[in-house]
Amino acid sequence: MGEPNGAASDQPAYLGPQAPCVYCGQVIDRIADRCPHCRTSYSFAVRKASREVIGDWSYLDSRNPSGRGVTFETLIKMIEKGRIKRDSVVRGPTTHYDWTYAAAAPRLAKYLGVCPHCFAEAKPEDTYCDQCQLNMNERPAEARPGATPDEIKDPLHKASYQMEERLAEAARGDRETAAPPRPSPAAAARPAPSRGPAPRPEPKTTAAAQAVAALAESTSERPSRVVPAPPRGRPKLWIVLVLTWVTLIPVLLVLAFAVPGFPLHDTLRSVFGGGTTVPPENPPQHPPPSTPDPDWLQARLAEADQAEQEKDYETAIAIYEDIIARTGDTSWLQRVETIRKKPEEERQARLQQLRDRLQTADDLSSQGRYDDALAVLRNIGKDDRSLLASLGVGVENMEKTILAAQTKAAEAQRRKELATRLAQAVQLRLENKLPEALAAYEAIGKEFDTALVSQTIDLAKVVGDLKTQIAAASKPPEPVGPGPEPSPEAGAKAVADLMTKAADLEQKEKFAEALAALEEIKAKFDQKFWPEQLEHRIRQLKAKKEALEFFGMDGGNTKPDDKNK
C-alpha cells in the first residue's frame, strides 16, 4: 500500500523547508535572503554585525517585537541617529529588565537630555540631577551627598517610584535576614576539634555570599523526600502474547472485510451477507494535469523577464500568475512575492540616494563651496524633486538658502578687501606719499561699489582734500604783505614758542589746535623765520587728524606713531 497523502504533514517541523527567522522568530523559508516580517537581511555582513552588538538592553520594535538585545553603546548611537527617542520603550539592567519609557530609564535618560526621576534637563556627564538631587544612574536613587532635605525633590511618578523602593527594600531584607544553616545531626555529632593555636580570623562575607553558602550546605545535608520505588520484576511472556493478539485480531478482521484483494476478503463478505466485491467495468479515469508546451513556457518567462527589466512589475506578476494557473507549479509564487517588493525596495534605494545628495550639498555649503553645493542640487531631476516635496523636503528652498549664504559670504569678503585697501591708503597718507595715496583712493572708487564704500568713508571728500594738499604743496609760498617786521630775536622767539605749543598739543593728540599753531607761523611771520620742516609738520598733522577721523576717533585716545613725530 502507498503512503497516504497526509503523511507529509506528520514530518517534524525542524526537518522541513522552513525555519524560524534568527532575528524575529517568525517561520520563513530556509533559503530566503531576507525575512519578510522584520525585513532584516541574511547576508554575512548583517549576520556578523548583529552578533557583535548583542547586549543586555532591548528596545521595543513593532517590526521585530522579539528582537535580540543590544549593548548600551549601541543604544547611545541609536539616540544620536534619532532612532531611540524619549517615548521609545526600552528595558535593561537599570530598569531591572522591566519595560519602560527611555526617558524614565536610569543611566539612559540623561543621554536623551532628561532626568529619569523628575524629567528636568540633564547632561550625559552628570551623575546627580540639579533639580531633584537624585542619582540619575539608578532607581531607587540615592540623594546627592550633602544635599539638604529641602533641596531633594520627589520623583514625578511617585507611586511607581514607591513600588520600586518597596521591591528594593524587600530584596535587601531577604539578603539581610538570610541566616547561616543550622548544623545537621551528623555535624552536631562530630567531636569538637582539639585546642590548638588560635585560628586566624576569617574574612567577613557579604549577606549574599552567606545566603548562597547556606543554600548550598542546607541542600547538601537535607534528607531526600523521594521514596525509592520497589524493584520491578520482568513481565510474564504469556501476558505479552495475549495482549498482542487481542490487539491485532480486530485490525486484521477489519482489513480483510474492507480491503479488496486481502486474504479471506470474499469469504468474510459472503459469510456476513456482503457479497463479493466486483471491480467496476470502466473505472473513472482522471486526466493528468496538463503540461504546457516548453516553447510556450520559455516564451512567457522571457516576456516576464523583459517586463521586469523595463520595471513593468504589474505585467511581470500577471505573466507569472498565468504560468502558475496553467501549470499548477506554485514554486513561482516566491518569484511573484520578490517582484511585488521591488517597487518599495527601489523607492527606498532612491530615497537613500537623494538623502546622500542632500547631505553632500549641505556639507559643501558648510565648507563655503557654494557653487559645488548648488551643482549637486541642480542635478536632482523634476521627479525626484516631486518625491522629496511629498516628504516635506523643498530642494528650491535649499537652493535659495545656499544662494543667500553665498551672497552674504561674498559681501563679507568684499568688506574685508575694502578695509585692507583703505588701510593701505591711510598708511600712504601718514608717510606723506600724497600722490600714491590719491591713486589708491581713486582705485578704490573704481573697483568697489559706491554704496559699500559710502558705508565706511566719504571717498569724494577724502579725494578732494588730497588734491587740495597736493596743489598747495606744489605752489610757491605766497609773499607776506607789508607790515612791521619784528626784530630777528623777537621773531625767532615767537616762532619757537609757537612750535613748542604745537608740539605740546600734538603730544596731547589735539591735532587741530597744533595745526592751527603751525598755520599761525605761516600767517604772521616772514618765510625767513619758518623752520625748515614746517610744511612737512603741517602735512603730518593733517594726515594724522584725517586718519583719526577716518577710524572714528576724532582725536581720541590713541597716541600717534613715534616715527611721525
Question: Which H helix or E strand runs over 449?
Answer: none
If asked whether residues 335 and 389 sit together in one domain, one would say yes
If asked whether residues 315 and 362 sit together in one domain, one would say yes
If asked whether residues 298 and 389 sit together in one domain, one would say yes
Report whether pLDDT(287) > 70. Answer: no
Residue 303, judged by CB atoms within 10 A of its CB (0-12, 13-18, 19+), counts as middle
Report whether pLDDT(488) > 90. Answer: no
Residue 215 is assigned to a structural domain of this protein: no
If asked whether residues 443 and 500 sit together in one domain, one would say no
Residue 315 is assigned to a structural domain of this protein: yes
Query: Out of 74-83, 137-146, 217-226, 248-257, which region has the weakest mean confidence (pLDDT)?
Result: 217-226
Report whether pLDDT(134) > 90. Answer: yes
Check if the beta carbon of residue 538 is closer than 8 Å to that of residue 518: yes
Domain end: 417, 443, 476, which one? 476
- CA separation for the pair 407, 62 (Å, rounded): 47
- CA separation for the pair 499, 537 (Å, rounded): 10
If asked whether residues 452 and 373 sit together in one domain, one would say no
Domain end: 393, 415, 437, which one? 393
Report whether pLDDT(120) > 90. Answer: yes
Residue 419 is assigned to a structural domain of this protein: yes
Residue 429 is assigned to a structural domain of this protein: yes
The 10s digit of each residue's pLDDT in 186-243 is 333 344 444 444 444 444 444 444 443 443 444 344 444 434 444 555 556 777 777 7
If asked whether residues 492 and 465 sit together in one domain, one would say no
Q: Could you tell me the pLDDT band of residue 266, with boundaries at 50, 70 and 90?
A: low
Q: pTM for the complete prediction?
A: 0.32
Domain end: 352, 370, 393, which one? 393
Residue 359 is assigned to a structural domain of this protein: yes
Residue 154 is assigned to a structural domain of this protein: no
Residue 510 is assigned to a structural domain of this protein: yes
Which residue stretches of 431-533 are H helix? 434-447, 450-454, 459-474, 488-507, 511-524
The 10s digit of each residue's pLDDT in 148-192 is 988 898 898 888 888 888 888 888 777 666 545 544 433 333 444
If asked whether residues 387 and 406 sit together in one domain, one would say no
pLDDT confidence of residue 269 = 61
If asked whether residues 442 and 370 sit together in one domain, one would say no
Q: Could you tell me the pLDDT band of residue 312, with boundaries at 50, 70 and 90?
A: very high
Q: State residue 159 phi and psi, 5-degree precision.
A: -65, -50
DSSP per-residue codes, 349-399 = HHHHHHHHHHHHHHHHHHTT-HHHHHHHHHTS-HHHHHHHHHTT--HHHHH
Q: Residue written as cell 561674498? A: 410
Domain extent, residue 33, equals 13-40
If asked whether residues 377 and 410 sit together in one domain, one would say no
If asked whether residues 389 and 300 sit together in one domain, one would say yes
If asked whether residues 541 and 503 sit together in one domain, one would say yes
Residue 537 is assigned to a structural domain of this protein: yes
pLDDT confidence of residue 178 = 57
Through-space distance between the first and last CA atoms of the chain, rounded to whole angstroms: 127
> Which of 245 and 423 is assigned the larger pLDDT?
423
Check if the beta carbon of residue 368 is closer than 8 Å to that of residue 412: no
Report whether pLDDT(303) > 70. Answer: yes
Q: How many domains are contained in the chain?
A: 4
